[in-house]
């Protein structure tokens, strides 16, 4: 169980953004945009998986994620911590350790052999489960994972992520319609603010990133070949 005092929400967001920039998990490129899983272009890309290789920053952010969930949802709100395959698994394990709770993980789809289950580990009917992931964009994968959890008879009304895009207004509404509350440490807006302070990207790149964040669909339409 965590002890001691921790920063307020705004300071956690600033420090998280600073640490993600420090380990070069953040990538901006307006000249040759990244292609997202949706097939659409983006001048931004973030790789939270890099955190597992930086133990001091990893530990700090897992403390922050745990305390954020405790503050927002309560200290005794969960019986099980579930990680989403694959990026969420290490972070779920670290949060579970801090909260002294069992850990499980949820497959993206059933294995197709053996028990053909999407849940690995022990998850029981009636348990209150926290889903942990590295990040979320529009929340679609979270709904799929939560549905798999609920099929066991457990409940899942909360998901916690290190990074939330924060630029698609329907995300939290959609999650809410499925009975899911989102908890996160920082967004693209926090990272853009910190990137401007550090002056680690040129003005043109920052301008394009700002344009994308303010109007993702318009920016993507402009840069789609």
At residue 4 the predicted structure's pLDDT band, cuts being 50, 70 and 90, is low
Is residue 3, in this structure, part of any structural domain at all?
A: no
Is residue 136, in this structure, part of any structural domain at all?
A: yes
- Which CATH number does the domain housing residue 72 bear? 3.40.50.2020
- Is the separation of the CB atoms in 109 and 117 below 8 Å? no
pLDDT digits (tens, 9 = 90+) for 28-67: 998 999 988 778 899 999 999 999 999 999 999 999 999 9
pTM of the model: 0.94
Is residue 37, in this structure, part of any structural domain at all?
A: yes
pLDDT digits (tens, 9 = 90+) for 131-189: 999 999 988 899 999 999 999 999 999 999 999 999 998 999 999 999 999 999 999 99
Q: Which of 43, 41, 47 is nearest to 21 (CA)?
A: 47
Is residue 1, in this structure, part of any structural domain at all?
A: no
Is residue 2, in this structure, part of any structural domain at all?
A: no
At residue 76 the predicted structure's pLDDT band, cuts being 50, 70 and 90, is very high
- Is the separation of the CB atoms in 135 and 104 below 8 Å? no
Is residue 155, in this structure, part of any structural domain at all?
A: yes
pLDDT of res. 60: 97
Q: Say how far apart CA 95 and CA 83 lie, in whole Å.
A: 10
Position 7 pLDDT exceeds 90: yes
Q: Say how far apart CA 45 and CA 20 lie, in whole Å.
A: 12
pLDDT of res. 3: 61
């Amino acid at each position: 169980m965590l002890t001691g005092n921790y920063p307020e929400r705004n300071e956690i967001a600033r420090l998280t953004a600073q640490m993600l920039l420090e380990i070069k998990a953040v990538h901006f490129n307006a000249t040759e945009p990244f292609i997202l899983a949706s097939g659409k272009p983006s001048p931004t890309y973030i790789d939270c998986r890099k955190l597992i290789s930086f133990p001091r920053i990893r530990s700090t952010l897992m403390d922050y994620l745990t305390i954020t969930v405790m503050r927002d949802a309560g200290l005794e709100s969960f019986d099980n911590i579930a990680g989403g395959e694959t990026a969420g698994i290490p972070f779920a394990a670290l949060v579970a350790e801090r909260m002294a709770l069992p850990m499980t993980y949820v497959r993206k789809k059933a294995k197709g052999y053996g028990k053909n289950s999407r849940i690995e580990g022990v998850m029981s009917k009636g348990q209150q489960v926290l889903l942990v992931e590295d990040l979320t964009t529009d929340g679609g994968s979270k709904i799929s994972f939560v549905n798999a959890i609920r099929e066991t008879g457990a409940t899942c009304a909360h998901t916690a992520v290190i990074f939330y895009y924060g630029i698609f207004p329907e995300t939290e509404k959609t999650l809410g319609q499925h009975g899911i509350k989102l908890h996160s440490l920082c967004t693209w807006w926090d990272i853009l603010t910190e990137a401007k302070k550090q002056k680690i990207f040129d003005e043109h790149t920052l301008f394009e990133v700002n344009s994308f964040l303010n109007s993702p669909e318009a920016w993507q339409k402009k840069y789609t070949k």
